[in-house]
Chain A
Amino acid sequence: MTMLDQNSPRHLVLEAGRADRQYWPDLWRYRELFFILAWRDVAVRYKQTVIGLAWAFVRPFLTMVVFTVVFGKIAKLPAEGSAPYAVMVFAGLLPWMLFASVLSDASTSIVGSANLISKVYFPRLIVPLATVLVALIDFLVSLFILAGLMLWYGVVPGWQILLLPVFVLLALLCSIGPALWAAAVLVKYRDFRFIIPFVTQIGLYISPVGFSGKIVPEQWQFVYSLNPMVGIIDGFRWCILGGANPIYGSGFALSLGIIAVLLLWGIHSFRRTERAFADMI
């Protein structure tokens, strides 16, 4: 019998439940696909639109105006410290929009790439992660609007601004976990296509986006921190606006714990169902 070179680095065994060993090296090998998928989404997004890239500015800007008018002017909720209400709203809106767009785009990404999944092999994790990169690019564009607003109102950030990347990373990690889980179950249960927009809509109002987290009474802060976005949005605002340290110790630790659990759970369930995507999609 002729020999099969079992020790070759390219040697591959395909067996039920055994695609795992190669997975993480493969993820690295396919990193270019990750960038190119993200690039494709960005390149295609504003084709055949009249104002093109300006949409990236218009959307968050209008949301900010509406929130400022509704919460600040009509409901007359207090701003944080001396900051203008518009800047405060925008500083909360940015991490929230990052979270919401990752959740909604990444969760539908697998079903949206059905043609790829059923015809080509690559680590499926690349597809949702590429949409995360796209959301991050949108986020960076919005940061420019924030900078413009701060100039307009003359808000000067303190040293805390240097910690901003930490909270951006936390917002990403916080969204990736649920998004991966949703992407995996969406392949089987298209119900989640209807659930996700609902979650992001409700989440917008129960997270301190249009108002300051400080208006929640002290005794409820811990419970409020069960929503991991609370700590992230508060921290994000603190980086931009300065002021007293808003990080509510045990509450923030709880948020971090929840983020970690969601992330591991998301990756775990995605990896477990991923092998069968092509059969179910």
Chain B
Amino acid sequence: MPILSLQDVSKSFGALKVTDGVSFDLEAGQALGIIGPNGAGKSTLFNLITGNIAPSAGRVFLDGRDVTRAPPMERVRAGVGRSFQIPQPFGNLSVYENLLVAARFGGAVSGAEAPGFCMDILTRTGLAAVAEKPSGALSLLQRKRLELARAMATRPRVILLDEIAGGLTDAECSQLVITIKAIHAEGTAIIWIEHVLHALTSVVERLMVLNFGRMLMIGAPDEVMASAEVREIYLGIEA
């Protein structure tokens, strides 16, 4: 049974259809990349999966359970973790406290276990040295790392990464990819929206292309990137 399944999911804002009949399954432990031009509805798709917005039509299943109408907090506890394109740390909380909140409420980690659990994630994501810093005072790379760390602290079975490599230098990006690969190697399923293609294709097994809210293609990265239609729409290379 797939861990996450979308069936014919659509979302309209007035006359504008931002997601148009998207269907796919994600098996446990799989990594799926999503690419598409700006405005293709990629982040909207994440909002539909996390429950931040309700679909106009279609259904969302987690472990075979219909969660189409379930609120975000219920889906977090069912195992959906998310990072944002623009980092949104709780600025009044320290880095460590950001993780504690995610672990206690999202990951249902006990009060006794939470400190060790969070420090372990901070170490793995390279944030241990800034644990006590207010999260509002971090650099971009650190904030991106905090997004990832906080999503990990909710103990996700599927983690949604929204352009987490955007704005980073090559060296920073490579560091982040190592961490993401490690998370994936532990069996966490990943859906990753990314414009930095070399980073994305080094992790994911499948690639989906969205255009005007519709799923244009889904398949192995090499296959998808070789498609003339994808090259034209996404990369602007005429066949």
- A, B assembled together: no
Residues in A lying within 8 Å of B, measured CB to CB? none
Q: Which B residues have a C-beta under 8 Å from some C-beta of A?
A: none
